Chains A and B, each alone.
Chain A
Amino acid sequence: MRLTGAEITIQCLQEEGVEFVFGYPGGAVLYIYDALFNQDKVKHILVRHEQAALHAADAYARASGRTGVALVTSGPGVTNAVTGIATAYMDSIPMVIISGQVPTPAIGLDAFQEVDTVGITRPCVKHNFLVKHVDELASTIKKAFYVAASGRPGPVLVDIPKDVSQHIAEFVYPKSVTMRSYNPVTKGHSGQIKKAVQMLMEARQPMIYAGGGVILGNAAEQLTKLVRDLGFPCTNTLMGLGAYPGTDPQFVGMLGMHGTYEANLAMQHCDVLLAVGARFDDRVIGNPQHFYSEGRRIIHVDIDPSSISKRVRVDVPIVGNVADVLEEMQKLVNASPVRPDAAALKDWWKQIGEWRARDCLRYEHSSSIIKPQYVVEKLFEVTRGDAIVTSDVGQHQMWAAQYYKFDKPRRWLNSGGLGTMGFGLPAAMGAQMAFPEATVACVTGEASIQMCIQELSTCKQYHLPVKIINLNNRYLGMVRQWQQILHGNRYSESYMDALPDFVKLAESYGHVGVRIENPADVEPALREAFALKDRVVFMDFMTDQTENVFPMVKAGQGLTEMLLGAEDL
C-alpha cells in the first residue's frame, strides 16, 4: 500500500489503537491534518493552546494506563508544548508527541516557524526522533510507542518535516521492535528478592513506602495484598496516592513535605523500609543527611536502575517491574515459615497510634468563612470518594492530596514532579475523554486555573462535563505561605488582584458558574453541581485567605522537623 507520510502517520496511530489525539493544527502539519480528516478511527480533540494538548493527553494516559498522543505544529506549536512534555517526563507518563517540522531542505536556515525541536526537547523526553525520510516513518513511530510505554515510561517525540509528510512510501507497519540499545529489565533478581523478604521477616518496626511507580506499573493490587498479609504500615507519596487504599487502617497517610505526622515519623524511625516505585526525592525525605542520621535497612524496588541509590544508598536494590517483583515477594512470604515478631509489630503499631493521635490534619472549623480543607472533605463525601480528581499546583493541591482519600489507583492526577500550574483543567478533559461516564473534579485555585482557562472552550466543544472546584483565596497561596514562614511576611507579588468574575466567565463559555461564600452552602453547592451530569460547573469557593498547609517540613530540613500548625510558626 503506497501512502503519503501523513497517511502513514495516521495509519500508524490506528495500528496502535489510538482513540484520541489532542492537538492544534499549523503550517507544518497540514498534510497530517488532511489525512486525519479523511478517516474516523482516530478522533482529534482541538484544544485552545498546545500546553493543554499535552496535559490532556498526559492525563488520558494517567487515568487509562494507555499511551497518550499529542499532535502539534513546528516552532511555537512545539515550544508551547514543552511545558507539557516536561510535566509528563518528570512523572514518567507514556506519551507520543508528533510534531511538524519545516521541510528538510529548509532545516537549519531559520525558516518560518522553525525551531530545533529535537534539541529543545532532548532534556525532557525519554527519547526523540527527527524523521528525515518517509521510508523510516512507520518504523520510527512503532519505536516511539514501544519506548514510551516500556521500562520506565516517558514521553517520546517524533519530529516530522513537512516534505516527509507529503512524500510517498510503501506502508508496512512493523509487528514488533527490537533495539539493541534498549532492553529494559523486567524481572527482578530472585536472590535479591529472597534477601528482601528475609529482611522484612526480621523487621520489628517495618514501613512500606509506595510511589507513583506502583500506579504506573499497575501493581496496586499486589501491593495492597502484600501490605495486608504482612500487617505493616504503608505510606504513599503524592504520586502514589491510591496505590494503597487511603481509607485503610494500615494506611498512615501521605508522607513528605506536607505528609502526615505519623507517616513522616514512621519513615524516620522504622528499622526496615521497603520502597516500591518511589525515588526518595527532596519533597519526600527532605534532607538526606538528616534521613541517614537514623539507621535503617532499605529495600528499594524500581524499574529504573538510576533511581536506585541516587539520593539515598540502599541495602537491597531490586531492579524490575514492580508488579512482578511484588508477586514474587508475595509467594516467598506465603511460603515463609518465619513471620515478623508479632509483639514487636504490636508495639510499633502502638507507637504509630500515639503519633496518629496528634491528629495532624485537624483544622479550625469556621461558620463564617470557608476553610479550603472543608471543601475537599465535602467533595470526598459528595463524590463518595469515587471521582477522578485532578489538581493544579499549590496549596489546593496539597489539601486535595491530604483530605481526599483515594482508594483506587489512577484517580488522582497531578503534576508531582515538575509542579506545573495550568495542569488541572486540561488534565480533567483528558480524564473525561478516557472515562466519559466518570465523575471528574478539578481542584484548583484562582491563580492556577487562569494558566489554562481557555480550555473551558474545549470543554464546551466536546461536551466534557468536568466540575471545577476553585479554592479562591485571592493569593498565590503556597507562595504566600512560604513568604509568611520564610520571608518575614513580605508578600512579594503573591496577591492576585483584578480577578475575573469566574461565574460570568464560566457562563460566557456556556457553562454553569456558582460563587459560594458561606460554609453552610458548601455541601449543597457541591451536591447540586455534581447532579448536573452533563454540564461543566465552575464552583468559585471564596476561602480563608490566611489558611496554611500543615504539617510542613521546610525545604532542606529533616523529615521529622515538622511544623504542625500556626502555633509552631
Chain B
Amino acid sequence: MRHILSLLLENEAGALSRVAGLFSARGYNIESLTVAPTEDPTLSRMTIVTSGSEEVIEQITKQLNKLIDVVKVFDLNEGNHIERELMLVKVRAEGKDREELKRTADIFRGRIIDVTDRTYTIELTGPRDKLDAFLDAIDRSQILETVRTGASGIGRGEWVLRV
C-alpha cells in the first residue's frame, strides 16, 4: 500500500543522503522524496512517498527514527491529510491545438506560465491523481517535457508536526 511519510530532520549536510541511503540499503521503495528547510532554518521537512506491506512500512518508520539526524517521523496515512504536487509541462501548441490545450488547462485549474509561437508551459498543482489525469487528458504526442516535484503532505485540521 502507498504511504506518505512526513519527517522533520536536522538541516545538516548529509542528512538527505542518510535517508536516501537507508532506503537503497534496505531495499525500500521511494516513489518520491521532497525536502526543503522549514521556517526554522535548523530543521528540514521531508515528504517521502513509499509503498510496502504494513510490516515494511513499520520497519521503514522505525529505521528512519533510528537515524540520528531525524527528529520526527509521522505516517500521514494514519490520519486525514492533504497532499499536493507541482508539475510543469511544456507542450507543443500549434494551430487549433492551442485553444484546446488552453481549455484543458483551465478545466484542471492549470495556468499557462510561458508561451511561444509553438509551445505552452503549463503549471499545475494538485494531488498526484489530478496531475496524472491531466497528462491523460491531453494528447501524449504533444508533451515535450514534464517536471514534477513529488508530493508534499500535511495533516488536516489543527494537528501539527513540529519539534
Contact = CB atoms under 8 A, between A and B. Distances in A.
Interface residues of A, number: 18
Contact of B66 (A119, A130, A306, A313): A306
A122 interface: yes
Given A122-B17, A181-B10, A313-B55, A127 B68 contact: yes
A310 interface: yes
B21 A126 contact: no
Contacts of B69: 181
Contact of A181 (B25, B55, B63, B71): B71
A334 interface: no
A123 B21 contact: yes
Contacts of A130: 13-14
A123 B17 CA distance: 10
A179 B63 CA distance: 18
A118 B65 CA distance: 20
B59 A180 contact: no
Contacts of A180: 71, 163
B62 A305 contact: yes
A183 to B, nearest CB: 10
A304 B66 contact: yes
Interface string A304-339: 111001100100000000000000000000000000
A304 B62 CA distance: 9
A57 B42 CA distance: 35
Contact of A147 (B21, B55, B68, B163): B68
A122 B14 CA distance: 9
Nearest to A306: B62
A313 B63 CA distance: 16
A179 B9 CA distance: 12
B62 A181 contact: no
A313 B14 CA distance: 33
Contacts of B66: 304-306
B17 A119 contact: yes
B37 to A, nearest CB: 15
Contacts of A119: 17
B18 interface: yes
A64 to B, nearest CB: 25
Contacts of A122: 14, 17-18, 21
Contacts of B139: none
A118 B66 CA distance: 18
B14 A181 contact: no
A305 B64 CA distance: 11
B70 interface: yes
Contacts of B55: 309, 313
Contacts of A313: 55
Nearest to A156: B68
B58 interface: yes
B163 A305 contact: no
Given A304-B66, A305-B62, A309-B58, A123 B25 contact: yes
A118 B14 contact: yes
Interface string B1-37: 0000000011001100110010001000000000000
Contacts of B14: 118, 122, 130
A257 B18 CA distance: 33
A195 B17 CA distance: 40
A147 B55 CA distance: 27
A306 B59 contact: yes
Name the residue in B13, B66, B163 with the highest tally of chain A Cβ atoms < 10 Å from its Cβ. Answer: B66
B13 A181 contact: no
Interface in A445-468: none
Contacts of B68: 126-127, 147, 179, 181-182
Contacts of A310: 59
Contacts of B17: 119, 122
Q: Nearest 9 A-B pairs (CB), nearest first?
A: A306-B62, A127-B68, A181-B71, A305-B62, A182-B68, A123-B25, A306-B63, A306-B66, A122-B21
Interface of A: 118-119, 122-123, 126-127, 130, 147, 179-182, 304-306, 309-310, 313
Given A122-B14, A179-B68, A306-B65, 20 more contacts: A118-B14, A119-B17, A122-B17, A123-B21, A123-B25, A126-B68, A147-B68, A181-B68, A181-B69, A181-B70, A182-B68, A304-B66, A305-B65, A306-B59, A306-B63, A306-B66, A309-B55, A309-B58, A310-B59, A313-B55
20 contacts: A118-B14, A122-B14, A122-B17, A123-B21, A123-B25, A127-B68, A130-B14, A180-B71, A180-B163, A181-B9, A181-B68, A181-B71, A182-B68, A305-B62, A305-B66, A306-B62, A306-B66, A309-B55, A309-B58, A310-B59
